[in-house]
Amino acid sequence: MNGGNLELAQITLDGGNSGSNPITAQSPLITVNSDGELTLSNCTLQNNTNGKNEDGFGGGAVYVDGGTLNFSSGTITKCNAKDGGGVYVINNGRF
């Protein structure tokens, strides 16, 4: 998400990193860039391993790079990354 506002409610984002054949993603489930604002209400973010940490992308669930993440009444489970297992915030981002 790059600029603008988005609100999501009562959804599940599943990275597929569970079960007998787990996969490793190359990104977080969601990226919020500069001037973007994302509001998640009663959402579940789960089962994601961000394997692209060598390039500086953190966050197993959400990577906030100068934007804003509002998160209420939800869960983040089984999300992993080298930096910021659930949420990684840089460059004056807000969480």
pLDDT by 10s per residue, the chain, length 95? 778 999 999 999 998 876 666 666 678 999 999 989 999 999 999 999 887 655 556 888 999 999 999 999 999 999 988 888 899 999 999 99
Q: Give the per-residue pLDDT at 50.
A: 84
Q: What is the pLDDT of residue 23?
A: 63
- CA–CA separation, 85 and 60 (whole Å): 5
Distance of alpha carbon 45 from the chain centroid: 7
Alpha-carbon dihedral sign for residues 75, 1, 5, 66: positive
Q: Which residue has the tokens 């600029």?
A: 3
- The residue type at 41: S
Q: Which residue has the tokens 């998160």?
A: 71
